[in-house]
Chains A and B, each alone.
Chain A
Amino acid sequence: MFTKVLKKLLCTLTAIIVTGSVMLLSGCSTKEEQLNVYVAAGLKKPMEKVITAFQEETGVKVTPNYGPSGGLYTQIKEGQPCDLYFSADWLYIDKIEDDGNLIAAQKFLQDHMVLIVSETGKTKVKTVQDLNKPGVTVGICDPNAPVGVYAETALKNMDLWDQLNQTGNLKARPSTVNQLAIMVQKDELDAGLIFSSVAKGFGVEHVQTIPQEYTGEIIFGAATIKGGNEMLAQKFLDCANENIDEFIQAGWQAYQE
């Protein structure tokens, strides 16, 4: 008796699963053109405008995937479908090339690192040297985010990094640049090092721009990925270049040799 009921139930369940997956699969394979674009999370706002413009112009469906550049790189390496990749760090473009997944790359945008200060921090911190003064609380992003690597490099080049660790002034190593911006914006920390574009986006005050000789060139790159729709990806990249003003308004600079 019970077995029968159970069997019936199972049959129905299987039927549901099978029809469901067939429908799902057929849904995916409709011939509508679409583009998978992986975008470093910091670029989200201006990129959304580019996507809207591109979709209106071409009728192609763009599926954006926003995330930390490193995480997106890992997804591409593991074979997730991707046509075009915007990275906050040129390092990952190099890695994609080493993996043999690169068709072409373009230096897309340029950014600078700035020293941001909070309401309270304003009175204590005027330059990066002040980060090591007693009682100052500092946030530097974790090296999992490109901004963390740039900040660490800059502080090392200025001979401030070891001291910052010894004084115990370094209180937080958040995993994204936005988290650090929030911490300073909400006055939970005195100061931090982030991209000028992000500082502008969050409306936090900056007191110093770190010269490029210390951070190295901060380049946001774009790469077309093997196995993707190369033509369409290039078309999208052209569209992004045409709309470069959106990015400039948000605090970046167009890349110039």
Chain B
Amino acid sequence: MKRDIIGVIFLPLFLLLVVYPMVALLGHLNFEGTVKTLTDYYFWDSVKNTLIAAFAAALLGSFLALGFGYYHLFAQNTIIYRLANLMNDLPIALPHTVAGLALLLAFGRNTFGFISNTGLAFMLISVVLAMFFVSYPLAARAIASGVDQIDSEIIAVARTLGDTPQKAYLHVVVPALGEALFSGFVLTFARSLSEFAAVIMFGGNVPGSTQVLASYVFTKVEEGELEMAITASAFCIVLSLTIVVVLSIFNARRRKYA
């Protein structure tokens, strides 16, 4: 009885609010739009840029999140940790155009002019930094919850055996974080795929060199090229699904042989 009530409420709502919009989008795919998009040179460039940048952003995000995990475990009372924890909410709450503007003012040519005539802005690396900025908190949270799940006795044992906190973290905790690291990576990667407001403002959005898939879709919607926008969105959905599935299989294998 209990299970039925949940099923009766959850299933229809889930199907209506989550699955149905995706199906509706895919249902509007048409042949002409598909051909037009798949033969558009800029479309494939944006796919390439997106994949490279999102992968780099997810790597960078996971790497930094590991550092956050250390503070989460051993230094919760420090100012650094409190600040870092607060910053985990900010980029998510901040309107992303503002995030892009913040990055532009921080890394633009007025401060980083020694790098190029646009500073660190308007290059592929800017796209990576923009994606990283908005998606890093997801990795940090994933690692923090992974750290919480580790048996505190194991860490205590390592500490009594003479490990410094840093050693204990690197040798005992990090190797056990595989799962959390994986989900952090996937979350950051997926979030990066869909980011465009910050990317447009800081990355440059020049077709061929710094345009990403999400802003390609945005442009096509605003231009009224709905058929192309729908094809590109469908591609986006398939791409994210494929990546998540492939990574999950990879992860399952790794666990089996670990």
Mind listing 27 A-B residue pairs with CB under 8 Å?
A6-B5, A10-B5, A10-B9, A68-B222, A71-B222, A73-B224, A74-B224, A135-B117, A137-B118, A142-B215, A143-B219, A143-B223, A144-B223, A170-B206, A172-B122, A173-B205, A173-B206, A173-B211, A175-B205, A175-B215, A175-B222, A179-B200, A183-B104, A187-B109, A187-B110, A188-B105, A188-B121
Distance in angstroms from A37 CB to nearest chain B CB is 20
8 A Cβ contacts from B5-21 to A: 5, 9
| Residue among B101, B108, B117, B215 facing the most chain A CB atoms (10 A cut-off) | B117
Query: Is there contact, CB below 8 Å, between B1 and A3?
Result: yes
Query: Is there contact, CB below 8 Å, between B215 and A186?
Result: no
Distance in angstroms from A157 CB to nearest chain B CB is 20
B207 at the interface (CB under 8 A from A): yes
Residues of B bordering A, CB below 8 Å: 1-2, 5, 9, 97, 101, 104-105, 108-110, 117-119, 121-122, 200-201, 204-207, 209, 211, 215, 218-219, 221-224
Query: Is there contact, CB below 8 Å, between A70 and B104?
Result: no
For A183, what are the chain B residues with a Cβ–Cβ distance below 8 Å?
A: 104
- Report Cα–Cα, A247/B257, bound state, in Å: 70
Query: Is there contact, CB below 8 Å, between B204 and A172?
Result: yes
Interface range on chain A (Cβ under 8 Å from partner) = 20 to 34
Query: Is there contact, CB below 8 Å, between A70 and B207?
Result: no
Query: Is there contact, CB below 8 Å, between B201 and A142?
Result: no
Query: Is there contact, CB below 8 Å, between A173 and B223?
Result: no
A145 at the interface (CB under 8 A from B): yes
For B207, what are the chain A residues with a Cβ–Cβ distance below 8 Å?
A: 173
12 additional A-B residue pairs with CB within 8 Å, beyond A137-B118, A175-B218? A2-B2, A10-B5, A68-B222, A142-B205, A143-B219, A144-B223, A172-B121, A175-B215, A175-B222, A186-B104, A187-B109, A188-B118
A122 at the interface (CB under 8 A from B): no
Distance in angstroms from B37 CB to nearest chain A CB is 16
For A173, what are the chain B residues with a Cβ–Cβ distance below 8 Å?
A: 200, 204-207, 211
- Report Cα–Cα, A250/B224, bound state, in Å: 29
Residues of A bordering B, CB below 8 Å: 2-3, 6-7, 10, 68, 70-71, 73-74, 95, 135, 137, 142-145, 168, 170-175, 179, 182-183, 186-189
For B221, what are the chain A residues with a Cβ–Cβ distance below 8 Å?
A: 71, 74, 144
- Report Cα–Cα, A174/B200, bound state, in Å: 6
**Given A68-B222, A135-B117, A186-B108: A172 and B5 interface contact (C-beta under 8 Å):** no
- Report Cα–Cα, A36/B1, bound state, in Å: 48
For A142, what are the chain B residues with a Cβ–Cβ distance below 8 Å?
A: 200, 205, 215, 219
Q: Which residue of B lies closest to A174 (CB)?
A: B200
- Report Cα–Cα, A30/B211, bound state, in Å: 47
Q: Which residue of B lies closest to A168 (CB)?
A: B209
Distance in angstroms from B98 CB to nearest chain A CB is 11
Partner of B104, one of A143, A144, A188: A188
Distance in angstroms from A202 CB to nearest chain B CB is 14
For A68, what are the chain B residues with a Cβ–Cβ distance below 8 Å?
A: 222
Q: Which residue of A lies closest to B105 (CB)?
A: A186
Distance in angstroms from B18 CB to nearest chain A CB is 19
- Report Cα–Cα, A215/B140, bound state, in Å: 49
Query: Is there contact, CB below 8 Å, between B219 and A175?
Result: yes
For A70, what are the chain B residues with a Cβ–Cβ distance below 8 Å?
A: 222-224
- Report Cα–Cα, A2/B211, bound state, in Å: 54
Distance in angstroms from A163 CB to nearest chain B CB is 15
- Report Cα–Cα, A73/B121, bound state, in Å: 32
- Report Cα–Cα, A182/B200, bound state, in Å: 13
For A3, what are the chain B residues with a Cβ–Cβ distance below 8 Å?
A: 1-2, 5
**Given A2-B2, A10-B5, A188-B118: A175 and B200 interface contact (C-beta under 8 Å):** yes
Distance in angstroms from A152 CB to nearest chain B CB is 12
- Report Cα–Cα, A187/B105, bound state, in Å: 10
Q: Which residue of A lies closest to B205 (CB)?
A: A173
Query: Is there contact, CB below 8 Å, between A186 and B110?
Result: yes
For A175, what are the chain B residues with a Cβ–Cβ distance below 8 Å?
A: 200, 205, 215, 218-219, 222
For B9, what are the chain A residues with a Cβ–Cβ distance below 8 Å?
A: 10
